[in-house]
Amino acid sequence: MLSSFELLEPTTVQEAAGLLERYGDEARVYAGGAELILLMRYGLVDATYLVNVKTISGLGGLVAGEDALRVGSIVTHRALELDAAVRKGWPLLAAAESHVGNIRVRSQGTLGGNLCFADPHADPPTALLVYEASVTIEGSGGSSWLPLSEFLRGTYETALQPAELLVEIEVPRLPSGWTAAFARTERFYRPTANAAVAIDLRAGAIAGARLAVGCVGPTAMRLPQLESELAGLTPAEAGRRVMDARAYLSRQLDPVDDLLGSAEYKSYIAGVLLARAIGQAAGTEGANGHG
Amino acid sequence: MAEPRAIVTLDCTVNGERWHGEVPVEEVLLDFLRARLGLTGAKRSCESEVCGACTVLVDGQPMSSCSFLAFEVHGKQVTTIEGLTCEGRLDPLQEAFMRNVASQCGYCTPGQILAAKALLAANPSPTYEEVGEWLSGNLCRCGCYPSIAESILEVARAQSAS
Protein backbone atom coordinates (compact mmCIF):
# COMPACT_ATOMS: atom_id res chain seq x y z
CA MET A 1 0.00 0.00 0.00
CA LEU A 2 1.13 3.52 -0.71
CA SER A 3 0.84 5.96 2.12
CA SER A 4 -1.84 8.53 1.48
CA PHE A 5 -1.25 11.79 -0.32
CA GLU A 6 -3.36 14.43 -2.01
CA LEU A 7 -3.51 15.20 -5.70
CA LEU A 8 -3.14 18.61 -7.30
CA GLU A 9 -4.09 19.00 -10.94
CA PRO A 10 -2.94 22.30 -12.44
CA THR A 11 -3.84 23.20 -16.00
CA THR A 12 -0.94 25.56 -16.75
CA VAL A 13 2.80 25.53 -16.06
CA GLN A 14 2.47 28.77 -14.10
CA GLU A 15 -0.21 27.26 -11.90
CA ALA A 16 1.99 24.19 -11.30
CA ALA A 17 4.92 26.44 -10.38
CA GLY A 18 2.65 28.32 -7.99
CA LEU A 19 1.55 25.05 -6.36
CA LEU A 20 5.16 23.91 -5.98
CA GLU A 21 5.96 27.24 -4.37
CA ARG A 22 2.97 27.05 -2.02
CA TYR A 23 3.56 23.45 -0.86
CA GLY A 24 7.37 23.45 -1.00
CA ASP A 25 9.10 20.24 0.10
CA GLU A 26 5.77 18.53 0.74
CA ALA A 27 4.97 18.46 -2.98
CA ARG A 28 6.42 16.28 -5.75
CA VAL A 29 5.94 16.52 -9.49
CA TYR A 30 4.08 13.52 -10.90
CA ALA A 31 4.48 12.85 -14.63
CA GLY A 32 3.45 9.18 -14.86
CA GLY A 33 4.97 7.75 -11.73
CA ALA A 34 7.06 4.94 -13.25
CA GLU A 35 9.86 5.85 -10.83
CA LEU A 36 8.14 8.07 -8.26
CA ILE A 37 5.53 5.50 -7.18
CA LEU A 38 8.27 2.93 -6.50
CA LEU A 39 10.26 5.38 -4.38
CA MET A 40 7.14 6.30 -2.44
CA ARG A 41 6.32 2.63 -1.86
CA TYR A 42 9.80 1.95 -0.54
CA GLY A 43 9.64 5.01 1.70
CA LEU A 44 12.52 6.72 -0.12
CA VAL A 45 10.37 9.69 -1.07
CA ASP A 46 7.78 11.32 1.14
CA ALA A 47 5.10 13.30 -0.60
CA THR A 48 2.08 14.93 0.98
CA TYR A 49 1.02 16.32 -2.39
CA LEU A 50 1.55 15.13 -5.95
CA VAL A 51 1.38 17.78 -8.64
CA ASN A 52 0.11 16.00 -11.74
CA VAL A 53 1.72 17.75 -14.71
CA LYS A 54 -0.14 15.52 -17.16
CA THR A 55 -3.18 17.76 -16.73
CA ILE A 56 -1.24 20.71 -18.16
CA SER A 57 -2.03 21.22 -21.82
CA GLY A 58 0.93 21.84 -24.08
CA LEU A 59 3.48 19.53 -22.43
CA GLY A 60 2.68 16.56 -24.65
CA GLY A 61 3.98 17.89 -27.97
CA LEU A 62 6.28 15.86 -30.20
CA VAL A 63 7.36 17.90 -33.22
CA ALA A 64 10.06 16.89 -35.68
CA GLY A 65 11.20 20.22 -37.12
CA GLU A 66 13.69 21.08 -39.83
CA ASP A 67 16.49 21.72 -37.35
CA ALA A 68 15.42 19.98 -34.18
CA LEU A 69 13.02 17.62 -32.48
CA ARG A 70 10.92 19.24 -29.75
CA VAL A 71 9.73 16.85 -27.08
CA GLY A 72 7.22 17.97 -24.45
CA SER A 73 8.26 16.78 -21.02
CA ILE A 74 5.31 14.37 -20.59
CA VAL A 75 5.90 12.46 -23.84
CA THR A 76 6.37 8.78 -22.97
CA HIS A 77 9.37 6.62 -23.81
CA ARG A 78 7.09 4.38 -25.82
CA ALA A 79 5.85 7.28 -27.98
CA LEU A 80 9.45 8.23 -28.77
CA GLU A 81 10.47 4.64 -29.44
CA LEU A 82 7.65 4.16 -31.97
CA ASP A 83 7.47 7.58 -33.66
CA ALA A 84 8.44 7.21 -37.32
CA ALA A 85 10.02 10.69 -37.55
CA VAL A 86 12.13 10.07 -34.43
CA ARG A 87 13.30 6.68 -35.70
CA LYS A 88 14.34 8.22 -39.00
CA GLY A 89 15.80 11.52 -37.89
CA TRP A 90 17.05 10.72 -34.36
CA PRO A 91 17.86 6.99 -34.46
CA LEU A 92 20.12 7.13 -31.39
CA LEU A 93 17.27 8.51 -29.31
CA ALA A 94 14.82 5.91 -30.65
CA ALA A 95 17.36 3.14 -29.89
CA ALA A 96 17.99 4.43 -26.36
CA GLU A 97 14.26 4.75 -25.69
CA SER A 98 13.59 1.20 -26.90
CA HIS A 99 15.85 -0.08 -24.10
CA VAL A 100 14.19 1.73 -21.18
CA GLY A 101 12.87 -0.80 -18.60
CA ASN A 102 10.25 -2.93 -20.31
CA ILE A 103 7.26 -2.22 -22.50
CA ARG A 104 5.06 -1.33 -19.50
CA VAL A 105 7.60 1.08 -18.01
CA ARG A 106 8.01 2.72 -21.42
CA SER A 107 4.25 3.29 -21.71
CA GLN A 108 4.07 4.85 -18.24
CA GLY A 109 7.34 6.74 -17.93
CA THR A 110 8.11 10.05 -19.60
CA LEU A 111 11.34 11.46 -21.00
CA GLY A 112 10.96 14.58 -18.85
CA GLY A 113 10.45 12.50 -15.73
CA ASN A 114 13.46 10.37 -16.57
CA LEU A 115 15.74 13.40 -17.00
CA CYS A 116 14.48 15.12 -13.82
CA PHE A 117 14.89 11.91 -11.81
CA ALA A 118 18.55 11.82 -13.00
CA ASP A 119 19.16 8.16 -12.25
CA PRO A 120 22.75 7.55 -13.41
CA HIS A 121 21.63 4.20 -14.86
CA ALA A 122 19.61 5.60 -17.73
CA ASP A 123 19.76 5.30 -21.51
CA PRO A 124 18.15 8.47 -22.97
CA PRO A 125 20.65 11.06 -21.61
CA THR A 126 23.62 9.37 -23.31
CA ALA A 127 21.94 9.56 -26.70
CA LEU A 128 20.69 13.10 -26.10
CA LEU A 129 24.20 14.38 -25.29
CA VAL A 130 25.44 13.29 -28.72
CA TYR A 131 22.64 15.37 -30.29
CA GLU A 132 23.67 18.28 -28.04
CA ALA A 133 20.15 18.48 -26.64
CA SER A 134 18.96 21.31 -24.44
CA VAL A 135 16.08 21.76 -22.04
CA THR A 136 13.60 24.54 -21.36
CA ILE A 137 12.81 25.16 -17.71
CA GLU A 138 9.91 27.26 -16.49
CA GLY A 139 9.07 28.70 -13.10
CA SER A 140 7.22 31.68 -11.72
CA GLY A 141 10.28 33.83 -12.50
CA GLY A 142 10.06 33.05 -16.22
CA SER A 143 11.67 30.50 -18.48
CA SER A 144 15.29 29.57 -19.09
CA TRP A 145 17.21 27.39 -21.49
CA LEU A 146 20.07 25.09 -20.58
CA PRO A 147 22.23 22.54 -22.42
CA LEU A 148 21.40 19.05 -21.12
CA SER A 149 25.06 18.65 -20.13
CA GLU A 150 24.55 21.46 -17.60
CA PHE A 151 21.11 20.31 -16.52
CA LEU A 152 22.47 16.92 -15.40
CA ARG A 153 24.48 17.76 -12.30
CA GLY A 154 25.08 14.44 -10.56
CA THR A 155 23.52 11.29 -9.17
CA TYR A 156 19.79 12.10 -8.81
CA GLU A 157 20.72 15.76 -9.09
CA THR A 158 19.75 18.34 -11.73
CA ALA A 159 19.93 22.10 -12.16
CA LEU A 160 16.17 22.30 -11.53
CA GLN A 161 15.38 24.74 -8.70
CA PRO A 162 12.42 24.33 -6.33
CA ALA A 163 9.19 25.39 -8.02
CA GLU A 164 10.64 24.95 -11.51
CA LEU A 165 9.45 22.54 -14.18
CA LEU A 166 11.16 20.97 -17.15
CA VAL A 167 8.80 21.77 -20.02
CA GLU A 168 10.58 20.81 -23.23
CA ILE A 169 13.59 18.94 -24.56
CA GLU A 170 15.07 20.21 -27.81
CA VAL A 171 17.11 17.71 -29.82
CA PRO A 172 18.99 19.17 -32.82
CA ARG A 173 19.62 16.96 -35.84
CA LEU A 174 23.12 15.64 -36.46
CA PRO A 175 25.00 17.55 -39.17
CA SER A 176 24.23 16.17 -42.62
CA GLY A 177 26.24 13.08 -43.57
CA TRP A 178 27.04 12.00 -40.00
CA THR A 179 26.22 8.45 -38.92
CA ALA A 180 25.50 7.23 -35.42
CA ALA A 181 25.17 4.14 -33.23
CA PHE A 182 24.17 3.26 -29.68
CA ALA A 183 25.69 0.33 -27.75
CA ARG A 184 24.95 -0.94 -24.29
CA THR A 185 25.20 -3.79 -21.89
CA GLU A 186 22.68 -4.54 -19.17
CA ARG A 187 21.76 -6.71 -16.24
CA PHE A 188 18.27 -7.00 -14.77
CA TYR A 189 16.80 -4.34 -17.11
CA ARG A 190 19.25 -1.73 -15.92
CA PRO A 191 22.04 -0.63 -18.20
CA THR A 192 25.50 -1.36 -16.77
CA ALA A 193 27.02 1.00 -19.29
CA ASN A 194 26.06 2.55 -22.59
CA ALA A 195 27.76 4.52 -25.33
CA ALA A 196 26.43 6.78 -28.04
CA VAL A 197 28.60 7.73 -30.98
CA ALA A 198 28.21 9.93 -34.05
CA ILE A 199 30.92 10.28 -36.67
CA ASP A 200 31.56 12.18 -39.84
CA LEU A 201 33.37 9.74 -42.08
CA ARG A 202 35.08 11.19 -45.16
CA ALA A 203 37.05 9.01 -47.57
CA GLY A 204 37.51 6.39 -44.89
CA ALA A 205 38.81 8.77 -42.22
CA ILE A 206 37.02 10.37 -39.29
CA ALA A 207 36.56 14.12 -39.84
CA GLY A 208 34.46 14.68 -36.74
CA ALA A 209 33.22 12.64 -33.80
CA ARG A 210 30.91 12.93 -30.83
CA LEU A 211 31.24 10.37 -28.05
CA ALA A 212 29.13 9.95 -24.93
CA VAL A 213 29.15 7.34 -22.19
CA GLY A 214 26.43 6.78 -19.59
CA CYS A 215 25.79 4.79 -16.41
CA VAL A 216 29.47 4.61 -15.52
CA GLY A 217 29.76 7.73 -13.36
CA PRO A 218 27.30 10.12 -11.71
CA THR A 219 25.90 11.39 -15.03
CA ALA A 220 26.19 10.59 -18.72
CA MET A 221 28.93 12.67 -20.29
CA ARG A 222 30.62 13.68 -23.50
CA LEU A 223 34.33 12.96 -24.01
CA PRO A 224 35.68 16.04 -25.85
CA GLN A 225 39.38 15.22 -25.58
CA LEU A 226 38.94 11.72 -26.96
CA GLU A 227 36.66 13.09 -29.69
CA SER A 228 39.39 15.40 -30.98
CA GLU A 229 41.98 12.60 -30.90
CA LEU A 230 39.94 10.58 -33.40
CA ALA A 231 40.33 13.14 -36.20
CA GLY A 232 42.04 11.63 -39.21
CA LEU A 233 41.85 8.02 -37.98
CA THR A 234 40.10 5.17 -39.74
CA PRO A 235 37.19 3.63 -37.78
CA ALA A 236 39.38 0.61 -36.93
CA GLU A 237 42.16 2.87 -35.60
CA ALA A 238 39.58 4.93 -33.72
CA GLY A 239 38.21 1.76 -32.13
CA ARG A 240 41.68 0.84 -30.89
CA ARG A 241 42.30 4.38 -29.66
CA VAL A 242 39.19 4.41 -27.47
CA MET A 243 40.04 0.94 -26.13
CA ASP A 244 43.50 2.24 -25.21
CA ALA A 245 42.03 5.31 -23.50
CA ARG A 246 41.13 3.47 -20.33
CA ALA A 247 43.10 5.80 -18.04
CA TYR A 248 41.41 8.84 -19.61
CA LEU A 249 37.97 7.20 -19.40
CA SER A 250 38.52 6.28 -15.79
CA ARG A 251 39.60 9.83 -14.93
CA GLN A 252 36.87 11.50 -16.98
CA LEU A 253 33.91 9.27 -16.14
CA ASP A 254 34.49 8.99 -12.40
CA PRO A 255 33.25 5.37 -12.31
CA VAL A 256 31.71 3.97 -9.15
CA ASP A 257 31.42 0.39 -7.89
CA ASP A 258 27.85 -0.81 -7.67
CA LEU A 259 25.79 -3.98 -8.04
CA LEU A 260 26.16 -3.83 -11.81
CA GLY A 261 29.95 -3.90 -11.82
CA SER A 262 33.21 -2.62 -10.39
CA ALA A 263 34.59 0.78 -11.31
CA GLU A 264 37.47 -0.93 -13.13
CA TYR A 265 35.12 -3.10 -15.17
CA LYS A 266 32.96 -0.11 -16.08
CA SER A 267 35.79 1.99 -17.47
CA TYR A 268 36.96 -1.06 -19.44
CA ILE A 269 33.47 -1.80 -20.83
CA ALA A 270 32.98 1.89 -21.68
CA GLY A 271 35.93 1.61 -24.08
CA VAL A 272 34.56 -1.63 -25.54
CA LEU A 273 31.13 -0.10 -26.13
CA LEU A 274 32.58 3.05 -27.67
CA ALA A 275 34.71 0.95 -30.04
CA ARG A 276 31.71 -1.19 -30.94
CA ALA A 277 29.53 1.87 -31.58
CA ILE A 278 32.22 3.47 -33.75
CA GLY A 279 32.34 0.29 -35.82
CA GLN A 280 28.57 0.25 -36.14
CA ALA A 281 28.36 3.94 -37.03
CA ALA A 282 31.00 3.37 -39.72
CA GLY A 283 28.97 0.45 -41.05
CA THR A 284 31.79 -2.00 -40.44
CA GLU A 285 30.20 -3.90 -37.58
CA GLY A 286 26.63 -5.11 -37.03
CA ALA A 287 23.53 -3.39 -38.29
CA ASN A 288 21.93 -1.95 -35.19
CA GLY A 289 22.83 -0.41 -31.89
CA HIS A 290 22.09 -3.35 -29.63
CA GLY A 291 24.91 -4.23 -27.30
CA MET B 1 -5.32 27.56 -8.18
CA ALA B 2 -6.06 23.81 -7.97
CA GLU B 3 -7.12 22.52 -4.56
CA PRO B 4 -5.73 19.26 -3.15
CA ARG B 5 -7.97 16.22 -3.44
CA ALA B 6 -7.69 12.96 -1.50
CA ILE B 7 -10.53 11.26 -3.37
CA VAL B 8 -11.39 11.53 -7.06
CA THR B 9 -14.26 10.43 -9.26
CA LEU B 10 -13.38 7.57 -11.57
CA ASP B 11 -15.37 6.58 -14.62
CA CYS B 12 -13.90 3.70 -16.59
CA THR B 13 -14.73 0.47 -18.39
CA VAL B 14 -13.43 -2.80 -16.99
CA ASN B 15 -13.80 -5.87 -19.21
CA GLY B 16 -16.54 -4.14 -21.15
CA GLU B 17 -18.54 -3.04 -18.11
CA ARG B 18 -18.74 0.54 -16.99
CA TRP B 19 -17.56 1.35 -13.47
CA HIS B 20 -18.34 4.67 -11.87
CA GLY B 21 -17.44 5.73 -8.35
CA GLU B 22 -14.87 7.36 -6.12
CA VAL B 23 -11.35 6.18 -5.32
CA PRO B 24 -8.61 7.47 -3.03
CA VAL B 25 -5.88 9.03 -5.18
CA GLU B 26 -3.23 6.68 -3.75
CA GLU B 27 -5.11 3.52 -4.74
CA VAL B 28 -3.12 1.57 -7.34
CA LEU B 29 -4.92 -0.13 -10.21
CA LEU B 30 -4.01 -3.59 -8.88
CA ASP B 31 -5.81 -2.94 -5.57
CA PHE B 32 -8.72 -1.36 -7.40
CA LEU B 33 -9.13 -4.51 -9.52
CA ARG B 34 -8.44 -7.13 -6.86
CA ALA B 35 -9.96 -5.65 -3.70
CA ARG B 36 -12.69 -3.39 -5.05
CA LEU B 37 -13.85 -5.37 -8.10
CA GLY B 38 -12.87 -8.87 -6.97
CA LEU B 39 -10.89 -9.47 -10.17
CA THR B 40 -7.99 -11.49 -8.80
CA GLY B 41 -6.48 -12.59 -12.11
CA ALA B 42 -3.83 -9.86 -11.97
CA LYS B 43 -1.25 -10.94 -9.42
CA ARG B 44 0.80 -9.00 -6.89
CA SER B 45 4.45 -9.99 -7.00
CA CYS B 46 7.52 -7.76 -7.33
CA GLU B 47 5.65 -4.47 -6.93
CA SER B 48 8.37 -2.72 -8.88
CA GLU B 49 7.29 -2.99 -12.55
CA VAL B 50 9.82 -5.73 -13.21
CA CYS B 51 8.09 -9.13 -13.17
CA GLY B 52 4.89 -8.52 -15.15
CA ALA B 53 2.59 -10.68 -12.97
CA CYS B 54 0.25 -7.70 -12.44
CA THR B 55 0.06 -6.84 -16.17
CA VAL B 56 -3.33 -5.61 -17.37
CA LEU B 57 -4.27 -3.76 -20.56
CA VAL B 58 -5.19 -0.08 -20.41
CA ASP B 59 -6.65 0.99 -23.75
CA GLY B 60 -4.93 -2.09 -25.14
CA GLN B 61 -1.46 -1.29 -23.76
CA PRO B 62 0.18 -3.54 -21.16
CA MET B 63 0.69 -1.72 -17.86
CA SER B 64 2.06 -2.69 -14.44
CA SER B 65 -1.12 -2.33 -12.39
CA CYS B 66 0.89 -2.56 -9.13
CA SER B 67 2.48 0.82 -9.78
CA PHE B 68 -0.14 2.58 -11.86
CA LEU B 69 -2.53 4.83 -9.96
CA ALA B 70 -6.15 3.85 -10.45
CA PHE B 71 -7.30 7.43 -11.18
CA GLU B 72 -5.20 7.26 -14.37
CA VAL B 73 -7.73 4.92 -16.02
CA HIS B 74 -10.48 7.57 -15.96
CA GLY B 75 -12.19 7.45 -19.33
CA LYS B 76 -10.22 4.37 -20.36
CA GLN B 77 -10.81 0.69 -21.05
CA VAL B 78 -9.18 -1.82 -18.72
CA THR B 79 -8.87 -5.48 -19.70
CA THR B 80 -7.92 -8.19 -17.22
CA ILE B 81 -7.54 -11.93 -17.83
CA GLU B 82 -11.18 -12.35 -16.72
CA GLY B 83 -12.21 -10.19 -19.68
CA LEU B 84 -10.72 -12.45 -22.35
CA THR B 85 -13.35 -15.14 -22.04
CA CYS B 86 -16.10 -14.59 -24.56
CA GLU B 87 -19.51 -16.21 -23.95
CA GLY B 88 -17.92 -18.87 -21.78
CA ARG B 89 -15.25 -19.65 -24.38
CA LEU B 90 -11.59 -19.19 -23.59
CA ASP B 91 -9.45 -16.90 -25.73
CA PRO B 92 -7.33 -18.75 -28.34
CA LEU B 93 -4.23 -17.69 -26.36
CA GLN B 94 -5.62 -19.32 -23.22
CA GLU B 95 -6.36 -22.50 -25.19
CA ALA B 96 -2.86 -22.51 -26.69
CA PHE B 97 -1.20 -21.98 -23.29
CA MET B 98 -3.13 -24.99 -21.94
CA ARG B 99 -2.40 -27.15 -24.98
CA ASN B 100 1.34 -26.40 -24.81
CA VAL B 101 1.56 -26.53 -21.01
CA ALA B 102 2.91 -22.98 -21.07
CA SER B 103 2.68 -22.65 -17.31
CA GLN B 104 3.62 -24.64 -14.27
CA CYS B 105 2.62 -22.70 -11.17
CA GLY B 106 0.51 -20.32 -13.28
CA TYR B 107 1.24 -17.20 -11.28
CA CYS B 108 2.68 -15.25 -14.21
CA THR B 109 0.22 -16.65 -16.78
CA PRO B 110 -2.46 -13.90 -16.75
CA GLY B 111 0.26 -11.30 -17.33
CA GLN B 112 1.92 -13.38 -20.05
CA ILE B 113 -1.37 -13.85 -21.89
CA LEU B 114 -2.36 -10.17 -21.67
CA ALA B 115 1.09 -9.06 -22.87
CA ALA B 116 0.72 -11.54 -25.74
CA LYS B 117 -2.75 -10.23 -26.53
CA ALA B 118 -1.34 -6.70 -26.91
CA LEU B 119 1.53 -8.01 -29.02
CA LEU B 120 -0.77 -9.78 -31.49
CA ALA B 121 -2.97 -6.67 -31.72
CA ALA B 122 0.09 -4.56 -32.61
CA ASN B 123 1.84 -7.19 -34.70
CA PRO B 124 -0.33 -10.10 -35.92
CA SER B 125 2.63 -12.08 -37.32
CA PRO B 126 5.54 -11.65 -34.88
CA THR B 127 8.83 -13.52 -35.25
CA TYR B 128 10.21 -15.59 -32.37
CA GLU B 129 12.62 -12.71 -31.63
CA GLU B 130 9.80 -10.15 -31.57
CA VAL B 131 7.87 -12.34 -29.13
CA GLY B 132 10.97 -12.52 -26.93
CA GLU B 133 11.53 -8.77 -27.06
CA TRP B 134 7.90 -7.85 -26.33
CA LEU B 135 7.57 -10.32 -23.45
CA SER B 136 11.02 -9.69 -21.97
CA GLY B 137 9.27 -7.82 -19.14
CA ASN B 138 7.14 -10.84 -18.16
CA LEU B 139 9.16 -13.23 -16.04
CA CYS B 140 8.34 -16.93 -15.58
CA ARG B 141 10.26 -18.47 -12.73
CA CYS B 142 9.11 -21.96 -13.75
CA GLY B 143 10.98 -21.36 -16.99
CA CYS B 144 8.14 -22.06 -19.42
CA TYR B 145 9.47 -19.56 -21.96
CA PRO B 146 9.78 -21.99 -24.92
CA SER B 147 6.17 -23.13 -24.65
CA ILE B 148 4.94 -19.58 -23.96
CA ALA B 149 6.59 -18.39 -27.18
CA GLU B 150 5.31 -21.42 -29.10
CA SER B 151 1.75 -20.81 -27.88
CA ILE B 152 1.83 -17.22 -29.07
CA LEU B 153 3.34 -18.12 -32.45
CA GLU B 154 0.76 -20.89 -32.85
CA VAL B 155 -2.12 -18.46 -32.31
CA ALA B 156 -0.52 -15.94 -34.68
CA ARG B 157 -0.20 -18.62 -37.38
CA ALA B 158 -3.78 -19.82 -36.88
CA GLN B 159 -5.16 -16.28 -37.02
CA SER B 160 -3.23 -15.33 -40.14
CA ALA B 161 -4.38 -18.55 -41.86
CA SER B 162 -8.06 -17.92 -41.10
| Strands, E assignment, B34-143 | 55-58, 61-64, 77-79
pLDDT higher than threshold 60 for residue A288: no
Please spell the DSSP secondary structure of A84-133, one letter per residue.
Answer: HHHHHH-HHHHHHHHTSS-HHHHHH-BHHHHHHHT-SS-SHHHHHHHTT-
pLDDT of residue A135: 98
Cα distance from A26 to chain B (closest Cα, Å)? 12
Q: Which of A102, A117, A189 to mutate to test the interface with B (most CBs of B within 10 A)?
A: A102
Check whether residue A34 and residue A85 sit in a common domain.
Answer: no
C-alpha closest to that of A169 among A288, A57, A64: A64
Asked if B69 and A33 come within 8 Å (Cβ–Cβ), the reply is yes
Classify residue B22 by burial, with Cβ atoms within 10 Å: 0-12, 13-18, 19+: exposed
The Cα of B22 is separated from the nearest Cα of chain A by a number of Å equal to: 14
B62: chain A residues, CB-CB within 8 Å: 103-104, 107
Give the pLDDT band of residue A190 (cuts 50, 70, 90).
confident
Under a CB-based contact definition with an 8 Å cutoff, are residues A11 and A57 in contact?
yes
Task: Please state, as a whole number, how many other Cβ atoms lie within 10 Å of the Cβ of residue B12.
Answer: 22
Residue B124 is predicted with a pLDDT of 97
pLDDT-derived band of residue A285, with 50, 70 and 90 as boundaries?
low
Q: Is A43 on the interface with B (CB under 8 A)?
A: no
Answer yes or no: is pLDDT of A239 > 60: yes
Domain assignment present for A291: no
Cα B47 from Cα A52, distance rounded (Å): 22
Domains of chain A: total:
3
Chain B residues touching residue A56 (CB < 8 angstroms): none
- Residue by residue, DSSP assigns A207-268 as EEEEEEEESSSSS-EE-HHHHHHTTT--HHHHHHHHHT-HHHHHHHH----BTTB-HHHHHH
Query: Is the CB of residue B117 less than 8 Å from the CB of residue B57?
Result: yes
Q: What is the pLDDT of residues B112-141, one digit of tens each?
A: 999 999 999 999 999 999 999 999 999 999
Same-domain pairing of A149 and A185: no
Just give the CATH number of B92-161: 1.10.150.120
Same fold, B7-84 and B92-161: no
Is A272 within the bounds of a domain? yes
pLDDT value at position A291? Answer: 37
Flag whether A210 is in a domain: yes
User: Does the beta carbon of B46 lie under 8 angstroms from any beta carbon of chain A?
Assistant: no
Domain membership flag for residue A286: no
- B7-84 maps to CATH 3.30.460.10: no
A7–chain B Cβ distance below 8 A for any pair = yes
Q: Which of A155, A172, A189 is the last residue of a domain?
A: A172
Structural domain includes residue A287: no
Give how far B62 is from chain A: nearest CA, Å.
6
Local structure of residue A150 (DSSP, 8 states): H
Residues 127-146 of B with CB under 8 A from A: 134, 136-137
Q: What is the arithmetic mean of pLDDT over B1-12?
A: 96
For residues A166 and A98, state if they share a domain: yes
Residues A133 and A113 in one domain: yes
* Domain encompassing residue A20: 6-53
Domain end, chosen from A120, A146, A172, is at A172
Q: Do B4 and A49 touch (CB under 8 A)?
A: yes
| CA pair distance A165, A115, nearest whole angstrom | 11
- Please indicate, yes or no, whether residues A25 and A100 belong to a single structural domain of this protein: no
Half-sphere exposure of B99 (CA within 13 A, CB side): 13
SS3 B61: strand
User: How far is the CA of A207 from the CAs of A177, A181, A224, A238, A286, in angstroms?
Assistant: 11, 17, 14, 11, 22
Say which of A9, A103, A188 has its CB closest to residue B62. Answer: A103
By C-alpha distance, which of A69, A75, A190 is closest to A128?
A69
pTM of the model: 0.94
Averaged pLDDT for residues B35-53:
97
> Which CATH number is A246's domain given?
3.30.390.50
Compute the nearest-CA separation of B95 from chain A (Å): 25
Q: What is the pLDDT of residue B162?
A: 81
Q: Name A195's bridge partners.
A: A183, A213
* A143 and A79 part of one domain: yes
Which amino acid, one-letter code, is at A186?
A: E
Q: Based on the domain organization, do A277 and A187 belong to the same domain?
A: yes
Helix (H, G, I), strand (E, B) or coil at A58: coil
Q: How far is B83 from chain A (nearest CA, A)?
A: 19
Q: Looking at the structure, do residues A37 and A75 belong to the same domain, yes or no?
A: no
pLDDT in tens, A14-68: 999 999 999 999 999 999 899 999 999 999 999 999 999 999 999 999 999 999 9
In DSSP notation, B140-159 reads: -TT--HHHHHHHHHHHHHHH
- Per-residue pLDDT tens for A68-127? 999 999 999 999 999 999 999 999 999 999 999 999 999 999 999 999 999 999 999 999
Domain final residue pick, A130, A154, A172: A172
R_g (Cα) of chain A, nearest Å: 19
Collect all residues of chain B within an 8 Å Cβ-Cβ radius of residue A12.
none
Question: A288 in a domain, yes or no?
Answer: no
**Is A289 domain-assigned?**
no
Provide the greatest CA pair distance for chain A: 63
Q: Which residues does residue B22 pair with via DSSP β-bridges, in sequence order? A: B9
B49 inside 8 A of chain A by CB: yes
B77-79 and B7-14 strand pairing: parallel
- CATH number, domain containing residue A15: 3.30.43.10
**β-bridge partners, A208:** A200
Within a domain: residue A213?
yes
Delimit the domains of chain B by residue range. 7-84, 92-161
- Reported ipTM: 0.94
Does A184 lie in the same domain as A102? no
